Structures are given as C-alpha cells and as structure tokens.
Structure 1
Amino acid sequence: MRDIILSFLESFKQLSYLGIVLALSCEIIPAEVVLPLAGFWVYEGNMIFWIAVFSGVVGGTIGPLILYFIGRFGGRPFILKYGKYLFIGEKQIKNAEVFFQKYGGGVAFVGRFIPGMRTLIPVPCGIAKMNVWVFTLYTVLAMLPITVLYVWLGQRFGPRWEEAVPFARYFLLNNVLILIVIVLFTLGVKHVVKNLTTS
C-alpha cells in the first residue's frame, strides 16, 4: 500500500504545486504523507517552501470542504451508504458526531490536530449545517501550523522524510490537549459574557 501511495504521489509531483493541492483535496492520502514529502521536494530544490505551504493549506482546506458539503447536502444516510468509498464507516461517523456534540463548532479547528479524526470531523459539521465560512476559517487556521510543521520537518529530514511523520504526530498529540483547553476556555468566556450582557 505504501509503495502504491508513493508512486501515486510521484505522479502528482509532475504537476508541481497543483499536485500538492490535488493530493490533499482527495482526502484519501493522509496529509502526514503528502506534506513531509512536499518538504523533501523543497529539500531537493524542486519547490519553494512557502509556496509548498500555501498549496498545502489550500488543498488541506478544499478536502474538508468537499466532505462538509457531502455531509450538508447528502446527510447521514448518504454518508452511511457511500462513506465506505472514502474509508469512512458507521462507527467512525458516530465517534465524530459525539465529538462534535461535545465540543461544538470548535471541533472544526481542534479536530484537524487529531489523527484519525481530522478526516471525519467535516462530515458532522456539514450534517449540522455549521456556517460554511466559520468552518472554512477554522480549517484554514488549523491547517496553517500543521502544514508549516510537516513541510518544515520534511525539508529538515531530507531523504529520511518519512521519519518526520511519527515525530510530528507525537508533537501534535502532546499539544492538542492544550488547544482543546484554549478553545473550551474561549467558548466558556464567550458564554459567560453573553449571559452577563443579556441579563
């Protein structure tokens, strides 16, 4: 499977930055593979760092938006019927829905930092008809640091770019709790301020 994905990505390399956008837009190939590999291409001198980052953010936003609109206009029955083609099962959808109900719209941001959740979270956001502009903003704000980190690590590791994947995943998992606390604190403050102004 690994070799198939890598050969697939090598064909995308021929499209340069557009290849990064397309690879991330399909949401089937993990960003943890695409972005460090893009960093390796920067290391080789085939790409410019910040243009690769920009391409990663664009592709990493288009992919979730596609899933968001599938959830919004197709609904849960559509996802349950056709989600298998995107490697999305009923159990995964339920987990994402519980996560969304627990943390609200902020999951569009926080969920991007959690492996296994980042691909799924746009679906319940779409089903719940979350404001598309807010969803897009959260996604962009989350994708920017993720993309910078992965591309930078891929560039630093060079030919050993695959070693960047567990390193970045460890870094993100250790910081995601901090992000969740910050988001929940912000939402809590907004709720308190809203109650004070309306009382």
Structure 2
Amino acid sequence: MQFIIETFNHYGYIVLLVALMLELIAVPLPGEALMTYCGYVIYTGKMNWVISVIAAAIGTIIGITISFFIGKSLGIGFFEKYGHYIHMNKQRLDKISNWFQKYGNKLLIVAYFIPGVRHITGYFSGITNVSYKKFAINAYLGAILWTTTFITLGKVLGPNWERYHLLLKKYLLIGSLIIAVMIMLIYIYKSHKQIVYEFVLKMLNNSLTIFHSFGKVKALIGTVVAVFLVFSTLVMGIIQDFLAQEFREFDELTRYIIVHVFDEDWGTAMRVFSNSANMYFLLFIILLTAIFIMIKGKNKLLELRFLTISFLGAVALSSMLRNIFHRIGPTGTEYTFPSAENIMAVVTYGFLTYLVIRYNRKLWINSLIISLYLVMCLLPGLSIIYFNIQYPSDVAAGYEFGFVWLSLSIIMLEVYRVLPKLR
C-alpha cells in the first residue's frame, strides 16, 4: 500500500484510473483504500474532486467492461481450467456461477462494495450471457456510486482517513449485504409469488382446520406476533452490553461525518427536518392516511383498524424498549435507545406509503413515493444527530425496530385480509 501511495503522490489521476481498472480485472489492489486516500489529498487541496471521481469511475468502468468481454469470449470452460490463477477454483466458480445466474445482474450496483464479489461480477456477467445493455446500466451506475462514495468520504474524513477507513469499510459492507439480501428476497417473491401465496393460504387453511374457528385463528396469530416482539426485545436487551463497544465506534464515526458535512449554516434546515417526526405532524399524516383509506381502500374498516394498531403499537413499543434498555442519551436527561422519533416516522410514513403503492399500478409513481418515504425517514434522524440530541446508534436502532414493527403490521393486515376467504 505504501508503494502505491508514493506512486499516487507523483502521478495522481493516472494511478487512480489504472489501479481501479486493474482491480476490476481481478488484480489484488487496495482500490477502496486508495480512493479514500485520494479523498484526503483532495481535502489538502492538491487534487480536484470532480476530476478524481471521473478518473476513478472511468478506470472502474474500463476494468469491469474488459472482464465482461473476457468472460463472454472465453466462456465458463476456460475459467474452470485456469481460474485458480485469479483465486477462482472450480468449487468457488460453481457456487458463484449458480448464485450469479439467479441474482447477479440485479446486484451489480451494490456488488462493488462487497470484497471478492466486485472482482468477478464482470466475468460472470459475460459467462452467463447477460446482455451488454443490462450489464452496462447496472455496472456503470454502480461504478459511479462506488467511486464517488469512497472518494467523498475520504475528503470528509480528511486527516482521519486512515483511522476510520477500515471501520467505514465494514459498515458499508454490512449495508451492502443488507441491500443485496433485500434485492434477492424481492426477486424470489416476484418470481415465486403464486407459490408463496398458495403456501400462506395452505398454512392458514390448516390453522382453520385445527382450531375450527375463524376467531381462534386471529387470536393465535396475534399471540405469535406478541411473543415474537417480547422475545426480540429481551434478546436485544441481553446483547446490549456486547454491542456497546460497537456502538461507540459507530457513534464516533457517524457523528464525525455528519458534523463535517453539515456545518452551522444547516441549522435552520435541520430544525425544519426535525419537524417531520413531530407528533402533531405525524398525527396529520395519520389523518391523511385515514382519508386515503376512505377514498381508495377495499377493506376500509380493516385498514383503519390496522392503521390505529400500527400507530399506537409503535408508541407503546418505543416507550417499552427505551425503558428496557435504560440508555441515557447525550443530553443526560432521558432514555434515547432506540429513537422514538425514528420508530414513529418509519411506521407512520411507511403505512401510508404501503397503501399508496398497493393501490397504484404506475411504476414511476411508486418509485417516487418510495424515494420520498426514505427521505422523510432520513430527515429526522439526520437532524437528531446534528443537534446531538441522540446517539447515531439510537437513530439506527429506531429505524431497525420501526421497520420490524411496520412489516409485522403490514403482514398482519394482509393475513387478516385473506382469512375471510378461507372460512
């Protein structure tokens, strides 16, 4: 790494372009560390951010395109024979090939953030005969996102780039893996929707047969959900001490980045952002959701009931969790883990978002609604960390628990929607 940095200091953009090109051909070079260091050099004023991102993206795009056409021209037989020279033996090749045929093209955007995966995605795109158009759209967009992320973070971290690089890389890897899993689950659901639907109906039907009562089935489902929540809370309480050190690292890094990205001029905007999780504003969103249900809903009474359950349940859940974990926030006056504001924002905006998407068939509108939802969830968390009201880990936990409760509420709504058909 030291040799690469010294060479980079002399030739800058050329080294950045060539190094990333070679890494995407599967030459073992520390591309992410180099981009983070490049960000630091930009911080010192010796390089330009725009030119650096362009050079890095071009190098990455050239590298992965070369690997794509190599894979396309040589085919799988060549890699079975010679793949061990680039750390791809036959056993690993077979596993990756099976995985890539199912999910690879859909994960090209986030694959760059996963060590070992980004080095072979180009080859397997070619080997599995992915069309160049589909490959280019996803791979090139991912290249721009990957290079921009690490160079920008290096610029933000400045002199602390080396101190925080490995920690930052770890959290980006975790986030990328979560996104990858979500993409695979969505793909599996869309590809096997009928099988999933029939399985759920069969399970519910068996429950009806066992309990001989529609009402008892509802009670059973409610009990299972309650038990799940209680035990999830207890487990989280037990592992809290174990995660304490991890929290400190995460809090330190996240707080450092936000403080350096958003200066004092953002104060007014952040106060506006914080209002998106204000209880009065959230009640207004609940009212809008109720109006939407009355206009568009197909099971109006059921949807209104679960709207109430999801909202009041989120209030109760956030209060219960904070009292269980007993974690005092930065102000030293109240429990803040997990963030109640973020739990409420995720659930309140999420329930409305789900209903809008459920009754709308236009893809561009749904994409816009989802993007708006994610922004509305992000804003209160950002403002909370900016004003140092809660720790970043409080905010992250709020998102996590909020999504768990929201998903359970939606699942229960859809289960109860199906149950009358089985009577």
Question: TM-score, normalised on structure 2?
Answer: 0.40
State the structure with bigger RCO (CA 8 A, min sep 6), 1 or 2. 1
Deviation at 1:22, TM superposition (A): 0.4
SS in structure 2 of the partner of residue 26 of structure 1: helix
Residue 26 (structure 1) shift: 0.5
What code does the residue aligned with 1:154 have? G
Deviation by residue 1:47-100 (Cα, 9 ceiling, x = unmatched):
111221121111122211122122111122322343344333333322321221
In structure 2, C-alpha distance between the alignment counterparts of 1:164 and 1:146, rounded to whole Å = 14
Matched, 1:8 2:9: no
Secondary structure of the residue aligned to 1:113 is coil
Deviations 1:97-138 (A, max 9, x none): 122122152132342232221112222211112112321221
Q: Kindly indicate whether the alpha-carbon contact (under 8 Å) linking 1:22 and 1:59 is maintained by their aligned counterparts in 2.
A: yes
- Rounded to whole Å, the distance in 1 between the matches of 2:52 and 2:184 is 28
Give unmatched runs, 5+ long, in structure 2.
Answer: 194-423
Q: Which moved more, 1:50-59 or 1:158-167?
A: 158-167
Tell me the equivalent position of 2:147.
Answer: 147
The answer for the alignment partner of 1:20 in structure 2 is: 16
Residues 142, 71 of structure 1: alpha-carbon distance in 2 compared, 3 angstrom cutoff = same
CA contact (8 A) 1:25 1:59 kept: yes
Structure 1 partner of 2:352: none
Q: Structure 2 matches for 1:180-199, cutoff 5 A?
A: 180-182=181-183, 185=186
Work out the CA distance in 2 between the residues paired with 1:95 and 1:127.
Answer: 14
Matched to 1:16, the amino acid is G
Output the CA distance in 2 between the equivalents of 1:6 and 1:79: 32
1:9–1:23: 8 Å Cα contact kept in structure 2? no
- TM-score, with length taken from structure 1: 0.79
Moved more, 168-177 or 40-49: 168-177
Matched to 1:133, the amino acid is: K
Q: How do residues 128-147 of structure 1 correspond to structure 2 at under 5 angstroms?
A: 128-147=128-147
Partner of 2:106: 106
The match for 1:168 is 169
For residues 34 and 91 of structure 1, do their structure 2 counterparts lie closer, same or farther at Cα, with a shift above 3 Å needed? farther
Using the TM superposition, give the Cα deviation of residue 45 of structure 1 relative to its aligned residue in structure 2, in angstroms.
1.9
How many residues matched?
188
User: Once the two structures are superposed, what CA deviation does each residue of 1:146-188 show, in whole Å capped at 9, x if it has no partner?
Assistant: 2222112212233432332331331342244235535764797
8 Å contact 2:107–2:180 — kept in the other structure? no
Structure 1 unaligned spans of 5+? 193-199
- Contact 1:110/1:180 (CA < 8 Å) preserved in 2? no
Aligned equivalents of 2:77, 2:182: Cα separation in 1: 33
- Partners of 1:132 and 1:13 lie apart in 2 by 36
- Residue 149 and residue 181 in structure 1: after superposition, are their counterparts in 2 closer, same or farther (change >3 A)? same
* Distance in 2 separating the partners of 1:52 and 1:97: 34
Shift of 1:36: 0.8
How many angstroms apart in 2 are the aligned matches of 1:33 and 1:139?
21
Kept in 2, the 8 Å contact 1:39–1:150? The answer is yes
What is the Cα deviation at residue 13 of structure 1? 4.0
What is the Cα-based RMSD across aligned positions, in Å? 2.7
Shift in Å, 1:43: 1.9
Paired residue for 1:195? none
**Secondary structure of the structure 1 residue equivalent to 2:19:** helix
Shift of 1:40: 1.9
Taking the aligned partners of 1:15 and 1:106, their CA distance within structure 2 comes to 36
Deviates most, 63-72 or 82-91: 82-91
Once residues 100 and 154 of structure 2 are traced to their aligned partners in structure 1, the CA distance between those partners, rounded to angstroms, is 31
Structure 1 equivalent of residue 402 of structure 2: none
Distance 2:2 2:95 in 1: 30
CA distance in 2, matches of 1:87, 1:14: 31
